[in-house]
Amino acid sequence: MMKVTVDDFETFLKDYIVKFNMPVKKATMLKVLQNTKILILDSTNNYYFSYPYIYYFFVARYLADNIKDCKDIIDVILNNL
């Protein structure tokens, strides 16, 4: 499972909602993701994605939105392909 802190996920969602049309309310999305066990909140306030591709979507979206600041990270990813 892939881990992300609640604070990091909240920061991402705030930015995402500002930039993109999100027809579903944030609370509804989180509830559905948690009810289907795609997103799990543990006792230490971390989210875990039970399916890596969901986590990878958010990582890819972050990299795309912050490409100028993430060039070194993207280079490392490309060099490891």
* Residue 69, pLDDT score: 92
What DSSP element (H or E) covers 53? helix 52-65
* Residue 38, pLDDT score: 85
Q: What is the pLDDT along the chain (81 residues), one digit of tens a residue?
A: 788 898 988 888 888 888 888 888 888 988 888 888 888 888 888 988 888 888 888 889 889 988 999 999 999 989 998
Rounded to whole angstroms, how far apart are CA atoms 68 and 45?
Answer: 30
Number of CB atoms found within 10 A of residue 47's CB:
21
* Residue 72, pLDDT score: 92
Rounded to whole angstroms, how far apart are CA atoms 75 and 35?
Answer: 37
* Residue 33, pLDDT score: 86
Measured in whole angstroms, how far is the alpha carbon of residue 48 from the centre of its chain? 10
